[in-house]
Structure 1
Amino acid sequence: MLTQLNIRNFAIIEDISITFTEGLTVLTGETGAGKSIIIDAIELLAGERGSVEFVRHETNKAEIEGLFIIDEKHHPIYSVASAYGMDIQEGQIVLQRTITSRGKSICRVNGKLVTLAVLREFGKTLIDIHSQHETQSLMDPDNHIELLDMYDESRILPVKKEYLGLFEKLDKLKKRYKKLNENEQEMAQRLDLLRFQFNELEQAELQPDEDLILEEERNRLANFQRIYNGLQDAYNALYGEQKGMDFLNEAQLALQENQEYDEFIAEKADILTNQYYLLEETTFAIRDYLESLEYDPYRLNEIEARLDEINRLKRKYGSSVNEMLDYMGEIAEEIEEIDNKDSHLLKLEREIEDLEKDARIEAEELHVVRQQAANALTKEVESELKGLYLEKARFSIAFREQQNLHVNGKDTVIFMISTNPGEPLKDLTKVASGGELSRIMLVLKKIFAKHQGVTSVIFDEVDTGVSGRVAQAIAEKIYQISLDSQVLCITHLPQVASMADTHKLIQKKEVDNRTATNVQELTETEQIDEIGRMITGSQLTDTATSHAREMIGLAKSYKSSIGKSKISSR
């Protein structure tokens, strides 16, 4: 969840630091106080594109920083971090975004500089922002099949993995077939190129690890004098009268002559004698190697010329001799395949036919499991919609089977809805009423929040266009979502505000003739007063205060009943 948000020099915000907790946090305040600006800041933190217009007037840069705590050990964020070579310590992730007055954007994750695209990858795993006028992932038909698979992941994922394994093999075979079945002119040109490359590599007579062996030999010849001098100095220091071995011999003889008188001397005499003979062997090895050394300037020239030839080939065929030899093998296989094209095409056709049969069987099994999940999801959505006073609404999941297999099998999935009796089911994106759309989105958010793994769900005035009993139902639904994910909600509805676990008031103030935004966490008494003002829309009255107190009391009773029902269902 998002636990700390720091914003500096962003729009009308000078410098604020907001602490968030679990559950439902409601943000209220007058229009223009800066509520949506805070959401804008979080959106930028999640990877949305920025603008110099966000930088506070007469400042050099706007800075946003968010600290997220991840309690779940298998959260998708760990896979994202691993993919980009980052380590998450103690479940803490810090996202940072800086926008300069010149329009430059600087992004960091846990202090490491990243691109905006990488920041977006982290952001979409941590934050899901939904506003009244924004199209989110739930509204995108391309995402519906992924959401359905996520809904019943334990049953669908194993079948999907089995299918994907077959589909990827099938796709590779089809690409090979297409490549081999290209027109005769292109194939002839390809064959000429391959034969030229093969001949060039064959004439080079490359040997495994040849480049490494030659570079090592070149290094020895290029540094021959230093190697020779070093070995000679070492040998001269060890061997000869009044040299290292001579003194060491005297030491081991002195201990041997007196070892019978002392146990310590006897022990060390054996050790020193063994070391003497080992060092003597090393000395003789140095001498023999010295005698074998021979400087050959012509050999050095040969090596340089050979390495130049190898490096020329590397620029065309691979970064090492071994890679070039592998490529040479691949060329030989492709030449043989083209020379015997007809037989290979026939073989590929049989392989593709057999594999496609297997893939279609798996695709059909995947389709059946998805339909079962769709039936369960349909019932759950319609049940939730009734709780939001859309009793007559019908929800359906349309399957449109494709003739050609694709990564999702043979299915294309679209969420369909009809909100009024007698109306046909329509694509979810075609729902016109803002109030209906808000309720449908809330239902889908509630169902998918626990499946998506998003730590923070943010609602920006999604309750616009509703009132009365629908407003109360929306408040209850938002609270239900907060039981599985942290929820931050900007609202103008007292029903939603009364459901808050934490209530923060956003206010505008003037300091030194400049407007600034202030965030205040309300006590229960202050919350009652704020909800009272939301009810009246202007001056706080005793009736509004009484009504606000009653709404908070009813909200507490509802939350208590929800908590008890969750415990009893475990």
Structure 2
Amino acid sequence: MLTNLSIQNYALIDDMNVSFAEGFTTITGETGAGKSILLGGLSLVLGKRADLTSLKNQERKCIIEADFDVSKYSLKHFFANHDLDYENHTILRREILPSGKSRAFVNDSPVTLDVMKGLGERLVDVHSQHQTLRLTENDFQLKVVDALADNQDNLVGYRVHLSAYKKAANELEELLDFQANSNKEHDYNSFLLKELESANLKDGMQESLETEYEQLNNVEQIMEQLSLGHQLLNDEQMGILGKLADLKRAFQHLSDYGDNYKSLNERVQSIFIEMDDVAGELETLRDGVEANPNRLETINGQLQLLYDLQKKHQVGTVLELIAVRDQLSGKVDAVENIESKIREKEQELQQKTKEVETWAIKIRDARNAVIPKLKSTLQENLYALGMPSATFKIAINPSDSFKVNGKDDLVFLFSANKGSEYGELKKVASGGELSRIMLTIKAILAQYEQLPTMMFDEIDTGVSGEISNRMGEIMKEMGQTMQVFSITHLPQVASKGRQQFKVFKEEDVMGTTTQMKKLTQEERVRELAEMLGGKTLSESALAHAKQLLQ
């Protein structure tokens, strides 16, 4: 509920600070006194866009603060979603700077205007004759029916299963799209896969083939160098092994003359053994080397295939070709298995459809059960509001598609007079009739759910006498369970308030300002008497005013 409103430097308001209580509050004042200015200031802190014309003094900033007790509104989730600190006592502040810039704050944390508007809609419902069009919207009408039907839990269950149904439907659509698009590429992908599979790709194969190719392609030079090495080692006259044998024998004699000679001898012996081993391996290699044109041609073909595949797939290694092959294999398998996946997803979607349909039927049954009560309550209340012949036709018809609030189409038709054709509210109801219908519906809703603070802006325009008295009674009854404001010109409505405020203008040498004050009991009597009979207060007007307050 709104506990305090502070407005500085806005329109004709210089500095205003007003505290409010729970229950039903009425706001009165002469035409032009500034009641709309008050409402305009409040709407800014609820997220309405502003401009520089809002500033009373163009050289100072405009500041509007609204304090709310939000403990009954279940808003912790909203605060968490927008990374705001939740406090039962929450302050919304709006600043409009002389530069034209606007800033918004919730509990001193900067927020966007959209966040402030979203929170404001949960805190205050401003209702005027111009806003009754919401009454003609199907979603709002269903919300009224669901409140009476206590459908909140059913709607939560329905939306959980609706989300699962939509997920399955989207996944099926993606599979079908994939199938339609991939069929065009499937043959080409299969061809590329077979081409890569026929290459028998293995990590390291390219290096191995390139090494073997170099050996076979240079076999004559290899044989020539091996033969030369063998000759250098084994030549009878000048061979290295012969000379090393002489050196070995010479050093064997020296080893007996000291450890240093012995160590040197061991090194010479080691060199001889190593070179003798090299000579043996050279001979083996030389005997094993032979020209093989057929093998060379085969290897050349394998390497050329690898090079061609790498060029085609724009990669540089066999490992990258293997990755391409595996990716193509996945695509080909996906297409070849898509039919079974589609069948599985279709079965899943059928199951999800049954589940969400079950919840939709629960919602529909609950709605149908309360429609007779809704019709009779509306008609009874409108009878008391001067619409004795008002009747409704309300029906729930199954829809062809799942909606966010069920699988129903609501027929909500109205007739104001006997013998008149039934029609949609927006087509057959006048502005005054819509206002009375909306007031009645809000009163019904107040019995079934926690509504935000309700601000009725002159919805009683055009009515008088007993009807206005009944409208005041309805708002007073609503005030038993919620905070309700009514800006009114009617004394019958104004007198029903638990507290009454007056908006008025003051003029001095500095100009004109709009003020607002809470009226005492005596001041209320005088205000109501003026509303009844004008500025000249008669005894009868004062007596009537006292009677209204009693």
TM over 0.5: yes
Matched, 1:169 2:129: no
Contact 1:475 1:496 in 2 (8 A): yes
Question: Which residue pairs with 1:58 in the alignment?
Answer: 58
Listed as ranges, the gaps of 5+ residues in structure 2 are: 197-202, 204-325
State how far apart, in whole Å, the 1-side matches of 2:360 and 2:501 are: 50
**Measured at CA, do residues 369 and 334 of structure 1 come closer, stay the same or move farther in structure 2, by a change above 3 Å?**
farther
Counterpart in the other structure of 2:520: 523
Change (3 A) 1:49 1:355: same
C-alpha distance in 2, partners of 1:333/1:411? 44
Q: Helix, strand or coil for the counterpart of 2:38? A: helix
Counterpart of 1:93 (choices 90, 95, 105) is: 90
| Percent identity between the two aligned chains | 32
Range with bigger deviation, 178-187 or 387-396? 178-187
Alpha-carbon distance between aligned partners in 1 of 2:24 and 2:153, rounded to the nearest angstrom: 35
User: Does the 8 A contact of 1:4 with 1:17 survive in 2?
Assistant: yes
Aligned partner of 2:540 in structure 1 is: 543
Helix, strand or coil: the match of 2:346? helix
- Distance in 1 between the 2:417 and 2:332 partners? 66
Within a 5 Å distance, the mapping from 1:347-358 to structure 2 comes to 347-358=344-355
2:479 to 448, 467, 482: 482
2:111 corresponds to 1:114: yes
Cα pair distance change 1:188/1:367, threshold 3 Å = same
Hey, what's the Cα distance between the residues in 1 that align with 2:525 and 2:35? 20
Does the CA-based 8 Å contact 1:450-1:485 persist in structure 2?
no
TM-score between the two structures when normalised by the length of structure 2? 0.70
1:134 aligns with 2:131: yes
Q: Which residue of 1 aligns with 2:337?
A: 340
Residue 436 in structure 1 maps to residue 433 in structure 2: yes
| TM-score, normalisation: structure 1 | 0.68
Return closer, same or farther for 1:451/1:49 CA change in 2, 3 Å cut-off: farther
What are the within-5 Å matches in structure 2 for residues 386-535 of structure 1? Answer: 386-535=383-532
CA displacement 1:420-468 (0-9 Å, x = unmatched): 1112332233344333222111101111135452341101111101011
Q: Distance in 2 between matches of 1:372 and 1:513?
A: 63
Question: Corresponding residue for 2:181?
Answer: 186
Q: Which amino acid letter does the alignment assign opposite residue 53 of structure 2?
A: E
Over residues 192-216 of structure 1, what are the superposed CA-to-partner deviations in whole Å (9 max), with x where a residue is unaligned?
99x99xx9xxxxx9xxxxxxxxxxx
Shift in CA distance, 162/490, structure 1 to aligned 2, threshold 3 Å: closer
Q: Which has the larger radius of gyration?
A: 2
Q: Paired residue for 1:22?
A: 22
Which SS does the other structure have where 1:4 is aligned? strand
Give the whole-Å Cα distance in 2 for the aligned partners of 1:422 and 1:523: 49
When structure 1 is superposed on structure 2, of 94-103 and 395-404 the one drifting more is 395-404
CA distance in 2, matches of 1:414, 1:48: 33
C-alpha separation in 1, matches of 2:382 and 2:165: 42
* SS, match of residue 518 in structure 1: strand
TM-superposed CA distance for 1:336, in Å, is 4.7
- Superposed CA RMSD in Å reads 3.0
CA spacing shift, 1:95–1:463, aligned 2, 3 Å: same
Q: Secondary structure at the match of 1:39?
A: helix
> How far has the Cα of 1:332 moved from its partner?
9.7
1:70 alignment counterpart? 70
Which of 347, 369, 372 is the aligned partner of 1:372? 369
Deviates more, 1:40-49 or 1:410-419: 410-419
- For 1:511 and 1:402, locate their aligned partners in 2 and report how far apart those are by CA, in whole Å: 64
Distance change >3 Å, CA 338–CA 373, structure 1 → 2: farther
Q: Matches of 1:184 and 1:377 in 2, distance apart?
A: 51
The residue type equivalent to 1:50 in the other structure is A
Look up the match of 1:285.
none
Q: 1:48 to 1:332 in 2, by over 3 A?
A: farther
Letter in 2 for 1:84: H
In the alignment, the residues of structure 2 paired with residue 330 and residue 419 of structure 1 have an alpha-carbon distance, to the nearest angstrom, of 70
The 8 Å contact of residues 458 and 487 in structure 2, kept in 1 or not, is answered as yes
Mapped partners of 1:190, 1:94: distance in 2: 61
Deviation at 1:125, TM superposition (A): 1.0
Kindly state the Cα deviation for residue 2 of structure 1 after the two structures are TM-superposed: 0.5
Q: How many residues align?
A: 418
Q: Note the C-alpha offset of 1:402.
A: 1.9
Contact 1:65 1:94 in 2 (8 A): yes
Amino acid at match of 2:171: R
